Amino acid sequence: MALQDTWTKKDLTGIADLTRAEIEFLFTQADGFLPALAPGKGLDLMRGRTVVNLFLEPSTRTRTAFEISAKKLGAEVVSINTTASSLVKGETLRDTAENIRAMGVDAIVMRHSSAGAARYLGKALDISVINAGDGAHEHPTQALLDAFTLRKHFGKLQGLKVTILGDILFSRVARSNILCLSKLGAEVTLAGPATLVPAALQEAFPQVRIIHDLKEALTDCDAVMLLRIQHERQTTTHFPSLAEYTSQFGLNAERAAWLKPNTIVMHPGPINRGVEVESEVADGPRSVILEQVHNGVAVRMAVLHLCTRAISR
Amino acid sequence: MNPHDPSPLWLHGARVIDPATGRDEPNSDVFIRDGVFVEKLTAEEQTRARKINATGLVAFPGLIDLNCRLGEPGQSARETILTGTLAAAAGGFTTVVTMPDCKPALDNVGTLQLLREICARDARVRVLPTGTLTKGHEGKALAPLGSMKKAGVVAVTDTTSGVQNNEIMRRALEYAAMFNLVVLDHCQDSSMTEGAQMHEGAWSLRLGLRGSPRAAEEIVASSDCVLAELTKARIHLQHLSSGNTADIVRRAKSRGSKLTCEVSALHLLLNDGALENYDTRLKLNPPLREESDRQKLITAVVDGTIDAICSDHSPCTATEKDCEFDLAPFGAASLETTFAAAYETLVLSGKADLPLLVARFTTGPARVLNLPYGTLKAGASGDVVLFNPQTSWTVTPATLFSKSGNNPLNGRTFQGRIQQSFVGGQQVFSVS
């Protein structure tokens, strides 16, 4: 059954703003873009358009994925890498963005250390704004590519049990995934140390289950999503040391044996090998980490196409 | 401003409320002669009085605000004494207590004198300055409290910096008590609030913003109770945000503590859900907390645990607030909307009657700082406002006198409006 084309949004600032129908329509678009990922292939849906990657926080993977996605659609891409703090010294975000817009740009893909920054920019500008991560708020394209990958593996997300393990408190990936997976009918379990998976998350996201016992969190799930332990965000008060984290919550082969046979292991990258996951698991048969990366390009192509199309319509 | 009019003032036919005396009379009169309230005017005085028909209006003492910032000196892009006191007058405030964290800080007699000169020239309502408790409100060395008291400060406070060291706070309290200076304390354990942008709870988790836990306020409020007992100093807790802090104050008061406290009208009106769209105008310190906190604070206003409702007017320019949430300065402009917001929250909701609300804006704050204002008693300064409970109005830039651009209630419609304000019998505001 062909899904109805319901997409009218010029921005993608968070999963919170999307309906299930919009997400599913976006997936059909992404499906259609997968063949274009082959070497030597590409499309010209965005020929003549310009996308600016405004990355105000360090990122290689997401920025590259967005660049490739835009190029596969035939768009021109300019990437700006700086830090929000150096921006603040001279110019406000609004001024920077309005200058970029004045140069005739069609879309800004932004990563920013401040939660809410993408929504702020989306309201300020009449061109597309795509959130590539705003502080600890959302990272919507990551969640979309994760859900897209799960859908490829299991056919549907309805009733699927997904455990998200690690630093939930500071993670935008976790927030977007909680929202995205729930909207698509999956059951989400959050696991990790109590300081990084505080009880108040239950109130914020009533649909999730919170578990601090690793074995219990792993035995029943269809997929486990590992989150990067971010040294730069956690102060020493949230857990004693990386070694302590690994000893309590790191995923190694022994613990992976608790998983059901068909359970897959996901990670948004970049991986801290030996911290949240051992290489034998990251590179093992359960791992779909590189599939996630591959699908990420198709999903971001769909996002760029649909959002910029919404303006020309 | 209208030129000074020496003729007597006669407000006729209003419902007159004066919580200091328990007066609440329909169809009554207020008389002011030579700048002070009098019980009656002679027949001759009546003939030359400025008689205002106040039928359908409510007359009550000019309101007292214990917590506001008026920009000057140093931050005149945000507010000036002129625009700030015009805003105060429009909000029904005839006496305002200003915070000392201007630039430079009010931690010395010279800066204080500068402020007093500006006020003498520009102020439209009575401005009562406070001084810092420690130099530069850095929480390290005591400010010259005795000299500042002599130069006119009505209280001392380190405002949002708070004094983080208990030993320094203890000595500061002992020293301030010698001069009978009330210490206003913004309760915040800053070790628990590093990088905090809003209340720590479900909304901060959804929005991905760093949270400030209630405990950061409650811990300092608790230690203030202990230190007040130790030093016998008078401490006034500023702008409560946690419902539990109200419980802490209630318990202290029941044990005979002279501790007092205030709440801002915004904390009575809104909860942290209002930040759903990252409205930087609602980025406050202390933050808006949960609905349960709001309800507890309302209860505490009604039962008298909370002595005063303040504006906590903290003007910022529109440009300063037009940025990412993390980068926006704290504070909301609120002088013009504080009474209307409190009226909606307490009176229109049926939780309190108008005399109680007026008391929290007059006798309550007057008692905190032992001020002779906030009453219509004969001999008191003729500060009075006329309030129209029948009218509704929408907050627009045209209704705002403040120079700031951060009143979060801009666009909101309120029932009940301050119609006219008088200081010493002189009109300082009238709805045009």
**Cβ-nearest to B323 among A92, A203, A205:** A92
pLDDT above 70 (res B364)? yes
Sign of the dihedral through C-alpha A247, A249, A254, A258: positive
Alpha carbons B20 and B24: distance in angstroms, whole number: 11
CATH number of B9-59+381-392+411-430: 2.30.40.10
For the entire predicted model, the pTM comes to 0.95
Q: Do A136 and B209 touch (CB under 8 A)?
A: yes
Q: Do B207 and A115 touch (CB under 8 A)?
A: yes
**In the prediction, which pLDDT does B165 show?**
92
**In the prediction, which pLDDT does A90 show?**
73
Closest-CA residue to B50 (of B83, B93, B11): B11
Alpha carbons B223 and B91: distance in angstroms, whole number: 34
| Predicted confidence band of residue B56 (pLDDT cuts 50, 70, 90) | very high
Query: Residues of CATH 3.20.20.140 domain(s) within chain B?
Result: 61-369
C-alpha count within 13 angstroms, C-beta hemisphere, residue B11: 34
Q: Which chain A residues have a beta carbon less than 8 Å from that of B281?
A: none
Q: Do A137 and B205 touch (CB under 8 A)?
A: no
Query: Residues of CATH 2.30.40.10 domain(s) within chain B?
Result: 9-59+381-392+411-430
Q: Which chain A residues have a beta carbon less than 8 Å from that of B197?
A: 115
Average pLDDT, chain B: 97
The answer to whether the A15-139+293-312 and A140-289 domains have the same CATH topology is yes
The residues in A 198-217 lying below 8 A from B, measured between CB atoms, are 198, 200-201, 203-205
Asked if the bond preceding B365 is cis, omega within 30° of 0, the reply is no
Q: Which two tokens stand for residue B302?
A: 């009604």
pLDDT digits (tens, 9 = 90+) for B114-151: 999 999 999 999 999 999 999 999 999 999 999 999 99
CATH class of A140-289: alpha beta
**Number of H-type helices and E-type strands within chain A:** 13, 9
Mean pLDDT of the B364-381 span:
98
| Predicted confidence band of residue B5 (pLDDT cuts 50, 70, 90) | confident
The C-alpha of B96 sits at a distance from chain A's nearest C-alpha, in angstroms, of 34
Q: Do B325 and A115 touch (CB under 8 A)?
A: yes
CB B15 within 8 A of CB B7: no
**Cβ-nearest to A135 among B202, B206, B208:** B208
pLDDT above 70 (res B1)? no
Sign of the dihedral through C-alpha B283, B289, B290, B291: negative
A232: contact with B, CB 8 A cutoff: no
pLDDT above 70 (res B340)? yes
Interface test with B, best of A86, A96, A114, A207 (most B CBs within 10 A): A114
A15-139+293-312: CATH topology is Rossmann fold (3.40.50)
- In CATH, B61-369 is 3.60.20.30: no
Q: Which residue of B has its CA nearest to A14?
A: B207
Alpha carbons A142 and A149: distance in angstroms, whole number: 11
| Distance of alpha carbon B280 from the chain centroid | 21
Interface of B with A (CB under 8 A): 197, 200-203, 205-210, 277-278, 319, 322-327
**Cβ-nearest to A117 among B203, B322, B324:** B324
Establish whether this prediction's ipTM goes over 0.90. yes
Closest-CA residue to A15 (of A120, A145, A149, A152): A145
**Cβ-nearest to A204 among B197, B205, B325:** B205
Question: What secondary structure letter does DSSP report for B327?
Answer: G
Q: Do B209 and A137 touch (CB under 8 A)?
A: yes
CB B319 within 8 A of CB B372: no
**In the prediction, which pLDDT does B301 show?**
98
Catalytic site includes residue B312: yes
Per-residue pLDDT of chain A (313 residues; tens, 9 = 90+): 567 888 999 999 999 999 999 999 999 999 999 999 999 999 999 999 999 999 998 888 999 999 999 999 999 999 998 876 566 567 899 999 999 999 999 999 999 999 999 999 999 999 999 999 999 999 999 999 999 999 999 999 999 999 999 999 999 999 999 999 999 999 999 999 999 999 999 999 999 999 999 999 999 999 999 998 876 555 567 888 888 899 999 999 999 999 999 999 999 999 999 999 999 999 999 999 999 999 999 999 999 999 999 998 7
Amino acid at position A223, single letter: A
Q: Do B205 and A94 touch (CB under 8 A)?
A: no
Count of C-beta atoms within a 10 Å radius of residue B271: 18
**Cβ-nearest to B325 among A94, A116, A172:** A116
Q: What single string gives the DSSP state of each residue in B303-317?
A: TTSS-EEE--B----
Alpha carbons B143 and B134: distance in angstroms, whole number: 4
Closest-CA residue to B337 (of B272, B273, B281): B281
Domain boundaries, chain A: 15-139+293-312, 140-289
Q: Which chain B residues have a beta carbon less than 8 Å from that of A115?
A: 197, 207-209, 278, 325-326
CB A238 within 8 A of CB A232: no
Q: Do A116 and B327 touch (CB under 8 A)?
A: no
The C-alpha of A38 sits at a distance from chain B's nearest C-alpha, in angstroms, of 37
Q: Which two tokens stand for residue B119?
A: 């006020």
CB A97 within 8 A of CB A84: no
Q: What single string gives the DSSP state of each residue in B194-242?
A: TT--EESSHHHHHHTPPEE-HHHHHHHHHHHHHHHHHH---EEE-S---
**In the prediction, which pLDDT does A137 show?**
98
Please tell me which residue in B18, B307, B312, B383 is annotated as part of the active site: B312
Q: Which residue of B has its CA nearest to A120?
A: B324
Q: Which chain B residues have a beta carbon less than 8 Å from that of A172?
A: 208
Q: Which chain B residues have a beta carbon less than 8 Å from that of A84?
A: 324
Alpha carbons B306 and B236: distance in angstroms, whole number: 10
Interface test with B, best of A11, A96, A137 (most B CBs within 10 A): A137
pLDDT digits (tens, 9 = 90+) for B81-118: 999 999 999 999 999 999 999 999 999 999 999 999 99
pLDDT digits (tens, 9 = 90+) for A262-295: 999 999 999 999 999 999 999 999 999 999 999 9
**In the prediction, which pLDDT does A88 show?**
56
